[in-house]
Amino acid sequence: MELVNVLVAAAAGFGVGAIWYGVLSKQWMEASGVAVGEDGKPANNSDPMPFIMGFIAMILVAGMMRHVFALSDIDTIGKGLVSGFGIGLFLAAPWLMICYGFAGRPRQLLLIDGGYAAVGSAAIGLVLAAF
């Protein structure tokens, strides 16, 4: 049952990413410098590997969050939502800040990607605690 919970939570985090980057796609492409095709979409849009790797990453994140939640007695929707948001905002986003700072990446990219880390982790935490 826990595997199903982790997979559903991973799908929730992935789905939030689809919406997040769907809304912020133009700003993200500009800030990240990703190559854009004639259709205005990323040039590698037809390559399934980023999507596959992204979902595998979501499974890893959700699995570790489930483990941490179990050890920490995070067992309500409110605790899951807040804890997930905190993991994204205070663990994942600062890590991105370090990497992006040394790489000279734009602050807007940090806000977009760090924001997704926080909101996506909140969605994962909510789902993990709901079941």
Residue-wise pLDDT for 9-32, tens only, equals 999 999 999 999 999 999 999 999
pLDDT band at 131 (very low <50, low <70, confident <90, very high): confident
Q: pTM for the whole thing?
A: 0.93
Distance CA 111, CA 102 (A): 16
DSSP the chain: -HHHHHHHHHHHHHHHHHHHHHHTHHHHHHHHT--B-TTSSBTTTT-SHHHHHHHHHHHHHHHHHHHHHHHHT--SHHHHHHHHHHHIIIIIHHHHHHHHHHHT--HHHHHHHHHHHHHHHHHHHHHHHH-
To the nearest whole percent, how much of the chain has pLDDT over 90? Answer: 87
Task: Give the bridge partners for 36, in sequence order.
Answer: 42
**Predicted local confidence at residue 50, as pLDDT:** 93
pLDDT band at 128 (very low <50, low <70, confident <90, very high): very high
Mean pLDDT, residues 66-86 taken together? 97
